[in-house]
Amino acid sequence: MSISRREFLGAGATAAVGVALAGPAQAESVIVSGVSPALRRLADNRPAIISSANGIRGVAKAREMMLSGADPLDAAIAGVNIQELDPSDHSVGLGGLPNEDGVVQLDASCMHGPTRRAGAVGALEDIATPSLVAKAVMDYTDHIFLVGAGAKRFALEMGFKEQNLLTDEARQIWLKWKANHDSNDAWLDHDDDVKIAFTHGTINMNAVTASGDIGSVTTTSGMSYKIPGRVGDSAIVGAGQYCDNDVGAAGSTGRGEANIKIAGAFFVVEQMRGGASPEEACLRALQRAIQMTESRLLDERKRPRYDLTYYAIAKDGRYGSANIYEHLQFAIADARGARLESCAYLFTDSERPRGAVPMHTLTH
Over the stretch 300-349, which tens digit does the pLDDT of each residue have?
999 999 999 999 999 999 999 999 999 899 999 999 999 999 999 999 98
- Say if CB 212 and CB 206 are below 8 A apart: no
> 254 and 309 in contact (C-beta within 8 Å)?
yes
Total of domains in the chain: 1
Q: What is the pLDDT of residues 241-259, one digit of tens each?
A: 999 999 999 999 999 999 9
Q: What is the pLDDT along the chain (364 residues), one digit of tens a residue?
A: 344 443 443 333 333 333 333 333 333 333 333 343 444 444 578 999 999 999 999 999 999 999 999 999 999 999 999 999 999 999 999 999 999 999 999 999 999 999 999 999 999 999 999 999 999 999 999 999 999 999 999 999 999 999 999 999 999 888 888 887 766 656 556 656 666 566 656 899 999 999 999 999 999 999 999 999 999 999 999 999 999 999 999 999 999 999 999 999 999 999 999 999 999 999 999 999 999 999 999 999 999 999 999 999 999 999 999 999 998 999 999 999 999 999 999 999 888 887 565 554 343 3
CB 293 within 8 A of CB 230: no
Question: Residue 170: which domain range?
Answer: 43-361
Q: CATH number for the domain including 297? A: 3.60.20.30
Does residue 179 sit in helix, strand or coil? helix
> How far is it, in rounded angstroms, from Cα 153 to Cα 143?
15
- The answer to whether position 157 is within a domain reads yes
Question: Does residue 249 fall inside a structural domain?
Answer: yes
Q: Is 115 a catalytic residue?
A: no
Task: Please give the share of the chain, as a percent, with pLDDT higher than 70.
Answer: 80
Tell me the three state secondary structure of residue 78. Answer: helix
- The catalytic position among 115, 141, 167, 202 is 202
The answer to whether residue 22 is domain-embedded is no
Q: Which residues are within 8 A (CB) of 215 and not within 5 positions of it... i.e. 6 or more apart?
A: 71, 72, 73, 74, 75, 76, 77, 110, 111, 112, 113, 206, 207, 243, 249
Query: Is residue 261 a part of any domain in this protein?
Result: yes
Characterize the bridge pairing of strands 344-347 and 319-325: parallel
Q: How many CB atoms lie under 10 A from the CB of residue 291?
A: 16
Q: How far apart are CA 300 and CA 298, in angstroms?
A: 7
Residue 18: inside a domain: no
- The answer to whether 330 and 51 are in contact (CB under 8 A) is yes
**Pair 7, 30: CB distance under 8 Å:** no
pLDDT for the residue numbered 352: 86
What are the backbone angles phi and psi of residue 271, rounded to the nearest 5°?
-65, -40
Q: Do the domain assignments include residue 5?
A: no
Instruction: Report pTM.
Output: 0.84
CA atoms within 13 A on the CB side of 328: 36
Residue 4 has a pLDDT of 43
Per-residue DSSP letter, 205: E
d(CA 364, CA 90): 8
- Cα(105)–Cα(128) distance, integer angstroms: 10
pLDDT computed for residue 44 by the predictor? 73
Query: 139: which residues sit within 8 A by CB, 6+ positions away?
Result: 117, 119
Is 255 contained in some domain? Answer: yes
Alpha-carbon distance of 282 to 302, in angstroms, equals 19
Instruction: For residue 27, tell me if it sits in a domain.
Output: no
CB 201 within 8 A of CB 364: yes
- DSSP code at position 233: G
Q: Are 362 and 87 in contact (CB under 8 A)?
A: no
Q: What is the pLDDT of residue 350?
A: 84
